[in-house]
A = this chain, B = another copy of it.
Amino acid sequence: MSEVISEGMLVYVMIDRKRKYLVKVEKGGILGTDKGYIKHDDIIGKKYGEAISTSQGYTAYLLKPLPHDYLEGFIRATQVIYPKDASLMIYLSGIQPGSIVIEAGIGSGFLTSYIARIVGDQGHVYAYEIRKEFIEVARKNLEKIGLLHRVTIKHRDIRMGIDEENVDAIFLDMPDPWNVLEHAHKALKPSRPILIYLPTANQLIKIIKALQETKGFIDINVYETILRDYIIDPEALRPRTLMVGHTGYIVFARKIEK
């Protein structure tokens, strides 16, 4: 149970609420911040949970990254699916260690990273993506956090078909998911769920119609999550003034035999 930080390990460096960095430690590396820099060599040998000083004397905590910390360290090629939505989608999907999962598109790989974490080394994610630049970004992001081996990224249009069969869950984050429903139905194990993420009400209306007409899906549900976070002042507790008011709608349905 070694928690000593060595080269190649990921560290989530936190100075304060606005200064948080996901760092892959390498000899000779430097983390530059507006509160001073930190030499990677000074991080090596420290333990997670310990503090270190920046060159300007500010305290920085060395933390083991959690899934939502990846958000800070990922290159972003696209709008990502936020934790508030990703967590509910994964919960509803029922994926667990060993699950085989289809995803399209991969975007920056943020949702993928959490799926890959949950399915473990016995599970696997097959991610379809038509845009090469996203594939490159997602690959780098997943490599950084050490989860790329659990993901097969395919430069393929999922609307043309899904190679895999008997999969445990399908996640779709694409503009026209209605063009994938037949393929998804074929690829899913019986009674398993499809999770679809859509930003607009117009798309929502269209996918509901398509799910109903396909006949192969039941238990169709649509959810919208709103997350408030609070200002942490025990003498003046209150929600933050600004919040994310909308990200997307989450659609859930289960495959049945047609």
Chain A residues with a Cβ under 8 A of chain B? 1, 3, 14, 47-51, 61-68, 83-84, 86-88, 90-94, 96-98, 114, 117-118, 120-122, 166, 189-193, 199-202, 204-206, 208-209, 212, 218-230, 232-247, 249, 254-257
Task: Chain B residues near A47: list those with CB within 8 A.
Answer: 190, 257
Q: A190-B47, A191-B49 are in contact. Are A83 and B88 (CB under 8 A)?
A: yes
Residue of B nearest to A226 (CB): B226
Q: Which of B49, B220, B245 is within 8 Å of A256, CB to CB? A: B49
A-B contact sample (12 more), CB < 8 A, given A98-B120, A221-B230, A226-B227? A68-B91, A97-B121, A201-B238, A206-B234, A223-B229, A224-B227, A224-B228, A225-B226, A230-B249, A241-B247, A242-B245, A243-B244
Q: Once bound together, how far apart are the Cα atoms of A255 and B61, in whole Å?
A: 10
Q: Which of B91, B93, B218, B245 is within 8 Å of A243, CB to CB? A: B245
CB–CB A232/B238 < 8 A: no
Q: A209-B234, A237-B202 are in contact. Are A191 and B96 (CB under 8 A)?
A: no
Question: Which one of A208, A220, A246 has the highest number of Cβ atoms from chain B below 10 Å of its Cβ?
Answer: A246
A44 CB, nearest partner CB in chain B, Å:
16
